[in-house]
Structure 1
């Protein structure tokens, strides 16, 4: 008897989907977070350069970066190579059905390819040793240890942190002789970056128009649409991946984009602070932990986002509609009296600081040329009729003077 492995994955059954969508309609989440609240991110750097373990809630990813000398491509003879490889072997329930495993692996791999390779975040020209002969080939291996939703954010954070933490050996090429120096002979060289991209994932349900950031596996599988936005530290859009059956308007996407740009900038700052702390520990010396050992055990080498950034709870900026709280004890007539005043005070407060958003739906649209000409003609006819009526009223206005002499104009 064939058993569908999707039933073993949280959120795939119909009762679970209905239950999650009902909770999303009430703006509630099972882990107690708000719809605009993210989980804490923890980074652990290993002893080797480019070994980073990332923990996003219960989602755990281990990334390792290696390099090797090779021949460049014929189309780009003076640029190095950047290869990304995703391994989902650590996820047990995905091994039941090979198609589910391959689909998730290909989706995640294509997202990482567009985020890091297509956006050209790494300066590949700096990896060239000799044009058309020798270039550095950088390989990034992403291993998923545990999957509890939002592999997109965890993988991009791990990949960016590993690339920024990686150091390559120094090399010289003279008289057709290639020499690679060890770390004792010369210090290793870090990679050069043009920008630093980080992705932020949102889930959208048909029952609720409120998008949910950083979804868990249960929320991600029960969602009708998933939007993944990649921004760099300059708040520039790198990639946009949106798919699903839930209808999304422009205002929802732009609101998610603005919040994702803010979070991406804070995540890049967090990675830089974590790298500086790891460099200080390396200079002090002492015992070093591997990334996998530190990820499993609880030790002081874990660098938390909330601790470094000085925040107790990391939240995406909330809209004005989310900040408004209604007292349950208020009766219906009182609520009807309060609602018009609240609309006048708030208005379009969530969108007033954004210059990229389109005009509101309630705003007056510009008329078409035919409508404009028709309105101008109607206004002209109305003005002419008004002027004729005023002239007739002035001509028929009676003279209330007592005598004819007073009515005559005095020169």
Structure 2
């Protein structure tokens, strides 16, 4: 079974000693994120997120299907993850690792179960037809912070995506192409993001956005998912290190500031992309065709 190279004892001791002196190997503060970059694809709903050297691509797709029998008035929303072998030597096609299982569960609880998307708005005809929204998360490069980067990628892609407009006459459904009607944005109820805290020295030292080397030497982690209004969607703890209640409370305060900062950054990037794409809308395109 392939494995990722683990840090030596000297590397572990060097990292821990540096952290005791409030220093990180890349020069960041203990509560600082790496540089976050967003790049949108030509197609709506495709987002390339880079958090330091970590790279995640999210793609949103939609199709019309029959709803679940026990959820006749709701659409369907799912999240799937795929770890590319080129992201890490520990990843293989068709073999699930603990990183992939944890990532899938965290995204499921933070985004889908917290009702980030209004699934009722995806219903077309109750019990017959609805939109099936699928978020595909592709891990391209792994240098730590997969949960945080993947959550940012999915939430940004959901806001960037536009589904086709539809009209209903009886049981007849008409799905309009992009040239016939402007596509419709998804109805979002809130925008949760994940912030990961890594613990060292029995919880005495806490880091935000650990890179891969720091992750390999930590004793435990806490992942907090919340939106910019301070509403906590989930708290997950991994590792055997106990977490003091006051330390956890301080982590939620730090997470709120980080979530608010990242949310504003995402909104600015979405607005900038919208300005680039806005060339007058569908009417301007049709007028140009008529003139030609």
* TM-score, length of structure 2 as denominator length: 0.91
Deviation of 1:53 (Å):
0.4
- The residue aligned with 2:68 is 73
Which of 28, 34, 56 is the aligned partner of 2:29?
34
- Is 1:94 the equivalent of 2:90? yes
- Is 1:265 the equivalent of 2:250? no
> What secondary structure sits across from 1:120 in the alignment?
coil
> What secondary structure sits across from 2:68 in the alignment?
coil
> What secondary structure sits across from 2:25 in the alignment?
coil
Instruction: Show CA shifts across 1:89-142 (max 9, x none).
Output: 14231136986x422111101100001111001100000000000010000001
In 2: Cα distance, 1:251 partner to 1:111 partner? 23
In structure 2, the gaps of 5 or more residues are: 281-292
Deviation of 1:168 (Å):
0.2
Deviation of 1:266 (Å):
1.5
* Larger proportion of strand: 2
Deviation of 1:175 (Å):
3.3
Deviation of 1:248 (Å):
1.4
In structure 1, the gaps of 5 or more residues are: 286-411
Instruction: Show CA shifts across 1:300-335 (max 9, x none).
Output: xxxxxxxxxxxxxxxxxxxxxxxxxxxxxxxxxxxx
Which of 86, 99, 117 is the aligned partner of 1:122?
117
Structure 1 residues 97 and 217, CA gap change in structure 2 (3 angstroms)? farther
- The residue aligned with 1:9 is 5
> What secondary structure sits across from 1:91 in the alignment?
coil
* TM-score, length of structure 1 as denominator length: 0.65
Structure 1 residues 78 and 98, CA gap change in structure 2 (3 angstroms)? closer
Structure 1: 4+ residue segments shifted above 4 A: 96-99
- The residue aligned with 1:222 is 217
- The residue aligned with 1:241 is 236
Verify the 8 A CA contact 1:170 1:189 in the aligned structure 2. Answer: yes
In 1: Cα distance, 2:233 partner to 2:210 partner? 21
- The residue aligned with 1:202 is 197
Instruction: Show CA shifts across 1:223-265 (max 9, x none).
Output: 0011110110211101111111222100111101111011111
When Rg is computed on C-alpha atoms for both structures, the one with the higher figure is: 1
> What is the number of equivalent residue pairs in this alignment?
279
Deviation of 1:210 (Å):
2.3
* Larger proportion of helix: 1
Verify the 8 A CA contact 1:206 1:247 in the aligned structure 2. Answer: no
RMSD of Structure 2 on Structure 1 (CA): 1.8
In 2: Cα distance, 1:31 partner to 1:181 partner? 50
